[in-house]
Amino acid sequence: MKTLNSILSLRSLITDWKRQQMSIAFVPTMGNLHKGHLELIKAAKEKSDKVVVSIFVNPTQFSEGEDFENYPRTQQQDIKTLVTYDVDLLFLPLIEEIYHSEAKTMITVADISNLHCGKMRKAHFSGVATIVCKLLNIVQPDRIFLGEKDFQQLAIIRLMVRDLNIAVIIDSVKIIRETDGLAMSSRNGYLTAEQRKIAPNLYQGLCNAADKIKQNLQSFREIEQQQQCVLINLGFKVDYFSICRANDLLFADKNDKELVILAAVTLGKPRLIDNIYIKRWS
């Protein structure tokens, strides 16, 4: 595996690969790799000749008081993992390589970026859209692999790619979970042993809500309220628990066929997000 820190050297290698007609898949990450990330890499390998992974803890998607400084950085371990997964190129830039000190441009995908996580984390999705756009410009891959774990992020990137005519195919990968249902996340490491036992109830709450939607006995707003109460009683602070339309993430009603239940909670220090996608036939 080649590890490169500079845009110039990365571009030169990619140009070389493209000259040889090789297809390129890109998996952007913030590191502290777990099985969720590795599933993206596996999927990327299946669909392309070369796989590029980036590890970059992107400062612009963290707001004041969030965990940018303390975000888990496990570079040496990550490099070993990527070598065993036979990744072709790791892009490991410094902040100065990515952001000009007098940068004036940020990308904002309107409306959807202000919903759900965007309500609490005002600049977050603008930071995400900007870094993904920059990385796509730098790497110029044929395909980008993104996790459904970050459902709102995925929806925002889809809109950005559409609106800015970025020539890339987006492949999404299902959520990878621990055996007890907790969605894998770099932030799970912040959980204490006690909180770790409680954490899978978030997924359980989503499953219960999904069952209730299928039973069709209660309104969506009632189901949301009920599940929020259950989570609060278990010790979660619930930021939102919302049954939404999968396409635009606005609140869904009973006529909608493609739904996603989106939830974000804090449990002690970490903020956990999770979701369930539901397709209804009747």
Query: Which is closer to ligand AMP, CB of 169 or CB of 229?
Result: 169
In the list 186, 201, 228, 275, the residue contacting ligand AMP (rule: CB under 6 A) is 186
Query: Which is closer to ligand AMP, CB of 273 or CB of 278?
Result: 273
In the list 90, 173, 191, 199, the residue contacting ligand AMP (rule: CB under 6 A) is 173
184 counts as binding ligand AMP under rule CB under 6 A = yes
Active-site option among 34, 37, 100, 116:
37
Q: Could you count the other beta carbons within 10 Å of the beta carbon of residue 262?
A: 23
**DSSP letter string over 159-188?**
HHHHHTT---EEEEEPPPB-TTSPBP-GGG
Contact string (CB under 6 A) for ligand AMP, positions 36-55, x = contact: xx-xx---------------
30 counts as binding ligand AMP under rule CB under 6 A = yes
- Helix, strand, coil shares of the chain, percent, nearest 5, are 45, 20, 35
Q: Could you count the other beta carbons within 10 Å of the beta carbon of residue 73?
A: 15
Cβ 126 vs Cβ 154: under 8 Å: no
127 counts as binding ligand AMP under rule CB under 6 A = no
**Minimum CB–partner distance for residue 144 and ligand AMP (Å):** 9
Q: Which stretch binds ligand AMP (CB under 6 A): 18-26, 35-43, 67-75, 191-199?
A: 35-43
Measured on CA atoms in the order 11, 17, 20, 24, is the torsion positive or negative?
Answer: negative
Query: Which is closer to ligand AMP, CB of 188 or CB of 228?
Result: 188
Q: How many Å separate Cα 19 from the centre of its chain?
A: 31
Which residue is associated with the tokens 């929020």?
Answer: 228
Cβ 198 vs Cβ 170: under 8 Å: no
Angle between helices 124-139 and 151-163 (to 10 degrees): 60
116 counts as binding ligand AMP under rule CB under 6 A = no
Q: Which stretch binds ligand AMP (CB under 6 A): 28-36, 76-84, 194-202, 210-218?
A: 28-36
**Minimum CB–partner distance for residue 16 and ligand AMP (Å):** 26
Query: Which is closer to ligand AMP, CB of 44 or CB of 223?
Result: 44
Within a 13 Å sphere around the CA of 104, how many CA atoms are in the beta-carbon half?
A: 0
Catalytic residues: 37
Q: Which parts of this chain interact with ligand AMP (CB under 6 A)?
A: 29-30, 36-37, 39-40, 146-147, 149-150, 173, 175-176, 183-186
